[in-house]
């Protein structure tokens, strides 16, 4: 049976995936800022590019930007 910490970790990972899907944020940008890990880096970048392409093809709305805009307008920051 899965431990409670494992369930917590898996939910965090799922939430991270959902947040990425519903935002305009790109993991590719974050990966390019990481230190070069040689061949491993190439594999990571290839995988992330595939995922980013898949996300773009889904055409999901950028909920994060909409929420950010609403909050900033409400606070008088826009």
Chain residues in the site for other proteins (CB under 8 A): 3-9, 11-13, 15-16, 18-19, 25, 27, 29-30, 33-35, 37, 64, 67-68, 71-72, 75-77
d(CA 55, CA 19): 12
Phi, psi at 39, each rounded to 5°: -65, -35
d(CA 71, CA 2): 38
CB of 68 to other proteins, least distance (A): 4
CB of 2 to other proteins, least distance (A): 10
* Nearer CB in complex with other proteins: 17/53: 17
């Amino acid at each position: 049976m899965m431990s409670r910490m494992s369930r917590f970790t898996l939910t965090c990972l799922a939430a991270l995936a959902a947040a990425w899907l519903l935002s305009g944020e790109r993991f590719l940008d974050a990966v390019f800022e990481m230190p070069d890990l040689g061949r491993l880096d190439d594999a990571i970048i290839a995988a992330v590019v595939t995922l980013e392409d898949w996300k773009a093809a889904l055409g999901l709305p950028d909920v994060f930007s909409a929420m950010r805009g609403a909050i900033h307008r409400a606070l008088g920051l826009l």
